[in-house]
C-alpha cells in the first residue's frame, strides 16, 4: 500500500504584511497565492529579486494587505531554469514567485547567509519542494 506524505502546512505560523505597489498597482494579487515572497521593507512584501532571501509563502492578499506563511513547512514551485534544490539545501527566490537552490557564498555577507530554510522534500515531476522555514 502506498502512502502519500503531505508536509505542507505542518507547524505553520503566519504574518500580516503590506504589499508594495508599483505605478499605483499592488505588486501581489490573488493570482500570486502560493508564491514565494520576500521582505521589501518594514512589514512590506513582494516577489523580491532574483537570488534574494525567501521570507515565506503568500497565503492571502486583498486591498494591499497580505498574509504569508513565515514558519513551518511550506511547498514552493521550483524555477526550472535554475538549479533545483536537493534535500538539505537552503533556497532563494527567483523574483517571480519560485525558488531554487541557494548559491554557494564565499564568506557570508554582513547579516548572515542569504539562504533560507531547509529543503525536506523535492518532487522533480511537479517541480515543487517542501521547505522547513
Q: How many CA atoms lie within 13 A of 73 on its CB side?
A: 14
Q: Which residues contact 22 (CB under 8 A, 6 or more apart)?
A: none
Q: Domain limits of the chain?
A: 13-71, 74-132
57 pLDDT exceeds 80? yes
2 pLDDT exceeds 50? no
pLDDT category of residue 114 using cuts at 50, 70 and 90: confident
Spatial distance between the Cα atoms of 106 and 111, rounded to a whole number of angstroms: 14
Neighbours of 88 (CB within 10 A): 8
Tell which residue, 113, 122, 118, 116, has the closest CA to residue 132: 118
Section 71-85 average pLDDT? 97
| The model scores a pTM over 0.85 | yes
Spatial distance between the Cα atoms of 114 and 102, rounded to a whole number of angstroms: 8
Burial of 73 (0-12, 13-18, 19+ CB in 10 A): buried
The answer to whether residues 66 and 19 touch, using CB atoms and an 8 Å cutoff, is yes
Amino acid at each position: 500500500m502506498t502512502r502519500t506524505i503531505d508536509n505542507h502546512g505542518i507547524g505553520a505560523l503566519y504574518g500580516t504584511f503590506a504589499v508594495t505597489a508599483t505605478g499605483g498597482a499592488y505588486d501581489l494579487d490573488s493570482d500570486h497565492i502560493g508564491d514565494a515572497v520576500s521582505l521589501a521593507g518594514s512589514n512590506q512584501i513582494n516577489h523580491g529579486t532574483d537570488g534574494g532571501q525567501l521570507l515565506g509563502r503568500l497565503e492571502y492578499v486583498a486591498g494591499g494587505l497580505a498574509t504569508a506563511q513565515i514558519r513551518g513547512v511550506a511547498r514552493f514551485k521550483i524555477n526550472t531554469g535554475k538549479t533545483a534544490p536537493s534535500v538539505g539545501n537552503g533556497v532563494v527566490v527567483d523574483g517571480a514567485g519560485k525558488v531554487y537552490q541557494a548559491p554557494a557564498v564565499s564568506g557570508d555577507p554582513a547579516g548572515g547567509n542569504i539562504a533560507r530554510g531547509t529543503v525536506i522534500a523535492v518532487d522533480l515531476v511537479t517541480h515543487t519542494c517542501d521547505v522547513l522555514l
